Amino acid sequence: MRVYQVEVSDDLGLSGRAVCKIASDVCIQSLRHEVNIYQTKLKTLQGTVVPKVYGIYTGRVDGERVHVLLEEYCGPPSDGVPGTLSRSIRMDILIAAFKLHAAGVMHNDIVYLSRSIPFGDLPTGASPDIRFVGFDKATIHECPMVEKATENDIKTDIQKFGDDCLLSKCRELRIIWSCLGFDIE
């Protein structure tokens, strides 16, 4: 799969930077899977916790059949070590992860959080908009750690999760919790 940062403008008012993912051959199925996750489970989170999807297209490039996903550009990958970020930003990342799980999705590619969470272009001192990207490995998931989907309820779930971290039945949230350094606070 090839991924590009592109400049877009059209008659519908879409303008600025976007991400263009182009899949051919064996990667088409992976991109279809990612699109399906965005259009179903993550539909209500687009533009908040995950990028907005602008369009899905099929066509040919040099005679080869391709599928194209055009989505919101969320910024460059974060270059900080997650555990060195402020507690507030780390909590925002954790809340975003819980929202994914509340929507019924496990990302499954969070080993390098800095690659999965771009921080966008920020004015000095501004808090980043946390977005998880790259759902080609995502799976449908009924998370035992997330009981409710509202932000206040998720914060309650996180508090409970912190108390029961080592007993957690959700491997991905446990990994994120540890990567963000909450296990050593």
Instruction: Tell me the two tokens of residue 131.
Output: 């977005």
Distances (CA, A) of 77 to 33, 116, 174, 179: 22, 7, 22, 16
107-151 pLDDT per residue, tens:
998 766 666 776 655 555 666 778 899 899 999 999 887 766 666
Domains, the chain, ordered by start: 2-42+51-72 (3.30.200.20), 82-184 (no CATH)
Q: Are 145 and 177 in contact (CB under 8 A)?
A: no
Instruction: Tell me the two tokens of residue 83.
Output: 């555990």
SS3 17: strand
Residue 6 C-alpha from the chain's centroid: 19
Backbone angles phi, psi at 29, to 5 degrees: -60, -40
* Banded pLDDT at 95 (limits 50, 70, 90): confident
9-31 pLDDT per residue, tens:
876 677 788 999 999 988 899 99
Q: How far apart are the first and last CA of the chain?
A: 39
